[in-house]
Amino acid sequence: MPVNLPLYPHVKIDTDAQKLLVALPTLESRLPNKEPEIHYLRRFLRNRNLHLVLRIYRQFKAQAGSRKPAADFAVSQAADVYCEIRYRIEDAEVRELLGLLSKPHVQALLFCHDKVACEDYEPRFDPVPPGTGEDGTIVKIVRLIKNNEPLGATIYLNEHTGCVEIARVLHGGAAHRSGLLAAGDEVHEINGESVKGLEPDRIVEMLSEVSGSVTLKLVPCMKTNVGRKTKLKMRCLFTFDPDTDEHIPCREAGLAFKMGDILEIVSDEDPTWWQAQRFPSSETAPGPGAVMSPAGLVPSRHYQESVEVMRRVKLREAKHPPLVCPFFLGSISPCRYSPKIPRQKRLRKTMYHIVQSGVFSEYDTDEIPTYEEVELYRPIHPLKIFRPIIFIGPPGVGRNELKRRLKASNPQHFEEVVPYTSREKRPHEEDGKEYNFLSREEMESQIISQKFVEYGEYKNNLYGTSLDSIKSVIQRGKVCLLAPHTQALKFIRTPELRPYIIFIKSPSLDRMKVTRTERRARSTSGDATPPLSVSEGRQMSFERRDSNLQAEEMRDIVEMSSKMEDRYRHLFDSVIINDDLETAATELLGLAARLEREPQWVPVGWAYS
């Protein structure tokens, strides 16, 4: 049954477009493998703007010769007027006219006037060459109108056939929108000029020099290659610059991005290079009228994992060169580079899989930051479910002070988690206020049951943060505040909690000395905040100090901050540099307010868990 055109007010339906629409079902039955192209053609013929353009075109043709324009060179006349009066800026009317003539909309209007006056609104096409080759090979003639944008296709030299072929068609580019080019097509001629024997770089130069009508003579690929189309939203966990990657097939087609950018993967057919589009903003979702940028090439997850593994191996070899036995100069066993992996790490499941042999066995692939599939999470105000705010940073950087100030801004809305301990309760303490007191046997039992997100021992007493305590704060409609050790992130960063992780970063060492000396900074760690991770060791000091932070301690804070950022940056949602405490606190308050009213990108599965 033919599809009728939609009815729009004040828009007359074009009869020729209606005839083409009626003929589409017949065309669809004759070409069973061209359903996407026919669907695209149906949407195109039903487009309201197309019918407006056709209506204007028919009116121009009907009135051709009946009305003569006063001049057919309005652009040059406007330019002459502008040059004539541009020095008479003392006159207000002259300044107003100069401003009008400088506006791009006025210039575009004059340009269109000249085109209509000269009846230069039809594209010019060169004669179409024959549709078969000299040896009877079926060829495909493709004609495109090339403007300032590139065609959006990459080519390569097939070493087996010696022909230049189209490697990929970039999603959203001119070639993709035309639907006439496909991966695997052989390029034989460009505007009647043979490209046989030319290098791909030279062909790219030829295409870049051409403007207007471009005619390509192709031998179509006979393989059926539908290709996989994806719509995955990915958060980039690393930074990529195509100009510095020596393996990218086409630097001009590369898409640069920074850590934290949101990309939409539109094609993952190539196992090495994906096609992706950048969202207009990495902080929020695009609006209804947002325009996506053309697709570009980005490294696939597998490729980036391989590059990162090799980078780590080279870095390790540079720091610790392998010893070579003088009596045997043969190949060195990969085991020399790979220390024995602990049993727990060997048995841990990984999210992504790469080759588990040689140097690849040294690293778990889920520890290599590449991409993270994300979706949009909107705050649930009616249910009063707020994401907990997690403060990560080196001891002494000021994260506890910032957490205290955030809580003091609204004590009824923000709440800290009460930790657990096995030590004896002191006379002035109240159970459930300073600590939740349990016996050592009870705490050890809950630790074995994995009910603590972090725990540790200090002066023969156990301390820990319970997972149920965090859930309790969330269920009461409060914003949970927590400052755990970085190793606890693997247990906290779950779909159940949906935490928002803020890294409190130290400023430079010079700024650290200035700001901490001015404020006579003191260590905020005290007897009331015990260590919650045995692995921290000497990195954390919980003895109260009355002296100023020494230069060596400041240096340790800066170095530890840099190491934490380098290792865990892909897990942080925001970074606050605690240079000036007042400025950092103001930034934190604004961030907490936006967190409750604006949507955020979260790992897939978090929004509906």
**473 falls in which pLDDT band (50, 70, 90)?**
very high
d(CA 370, CA 240) in angstroms, rounded, equals 10
What integer pLDDT is reported at residue 273 of this predicted model? 92
Give a yes or no: residue 246 inside a domain. no
Give a yes or no: residue 451 inside a domain. yes
Cβ atoms within 10 Å, residue 293: 13
Among 487, 579, 497, 468, smallest CA distance to 534 is for 487
- The number of domains in the chain is 4
In three-state secondary structure terms, 55 is helix
d(CA 186, CA 207) in angstroms, rounded, equals 15
Q: Comparing 360 with 170, which gets the higher pLDDT?
A: 170
Query: Average pLDDT in the 230-241 region?
Result: 88
Q: Record the tokens describing residue 346, joined without a space.
A: 């060997």
Give a yes or no: residue 244 inside a domain. no
Inter-residue long-range contacts of 81-87, CB under 8 Å, 24+ positions, other chains counted: none
Q: Record the tokens describing residue 435, joined without a space.
A: 């600590």
Residue 475 and residue 545 share a domain: yes
In three-state secondary structure terms, 112 is helix
Give a yes or no: residue 479 inside a domain. yes
Give the least confident one: 156-165, 271-280, 523-532: 523-532
Q: Comparing 357 with 54, which gets the higher pLDDT?
A: 54
Residue 21 and residue 107 share a domain: no
Inter-residue long-range contacts of 33-39, CB under 8 Å, 24+ positions, other chains counted: 33/224, 36/179, 37/179
Question: Domain holding 187: CATH number?
Answer: 2.30.42.10
Residue 148 and residue 34 share a domain: no
AA letter at 566? D
Q: What angle do CA 354, 360, 361 make, to 5 degrees?
A: 100
List the end-to-end C-alpha distance of the chain, in Å, as a whole number: 44
Among 313, 311, 291, 292, smallest CA distance to 303 is for 311
d(CA 262, CA 234) in angstroms, rounded, equals 6
Give a yes or no: residue 440 inside a domain. yes
Question: Domain holding 420: CATH number?
Answer: 3.40.50.300
What integer pLDDT is reported at residue 584 of this predicted model? 93
Query: Average pLDDT in the 83-102 region?
Result: 86
Residue 155 and residue 83 share a domain: no
Residue 159 and residue 85 share a domain: no
What integer pLDDT is reported at residue 9 of this predicted model? 47
Q: What is the pLDDT of residues 169-217, one digit of tens each?
A: 888 777 777 778 888 888 888 888 888 888 888 888 888 777 777 888 8
Residue where one domain finishes, among candidates 185, 219, 253: 219
Residue 556 and residue 425 share a domain: yes
DSSP state of 342: P
Q: What angle do CA 546, 550, 555 make, to 5 degrees?
A: 135
Give a yes or no: residue 368 inside a domain. no
Q: Could you tell me the residue range of the domain that residue 23 belongs to?
A: 15-62
Residue 459 and residue 594 share a domain: yes
Q: Record the tokens describing residue 297, joined without a space.
A: 């090439």
Residue where one domain finishes, among candidates 219, 241, 257: 219
Single pTM value for the model: 0.63
Average pLDDT, the chain: 77
Residue 545 and residue 469 share a domain: yes
Q: Which residues contact 412 (CB under 8 A, 6 or more apart)?
A: none
Scan for tokens 């940073």, then name that residue. 393
Scan for tokens 């957490």, then name that residue. 403
Side-chain-side CA neighbours of 583 within 13 Å: the count stands at 7
Residue 43 and residue 94 share a domain: no
Which of 30-39, 328-337, 551-560: highest mean pLDDT?
551-560
Residue 497 and residue 596 share a domain: yes
Handedness of CA 117, 119, 123, 124 (dihedral sign): negative
Q: What is the pLDDT of residues 261-297, one digit of tens each?
A: 999 998 888 889 999 988 764 444 444 444 456 789 9
Residue 193 and residue 78 share a domain: no
Give a yes or no: residue 84 inside a domain. yes
Residue 98 and residue 47 share a domain: no
Residue where one domain finishes, among candidates 199, 219, 239: 219
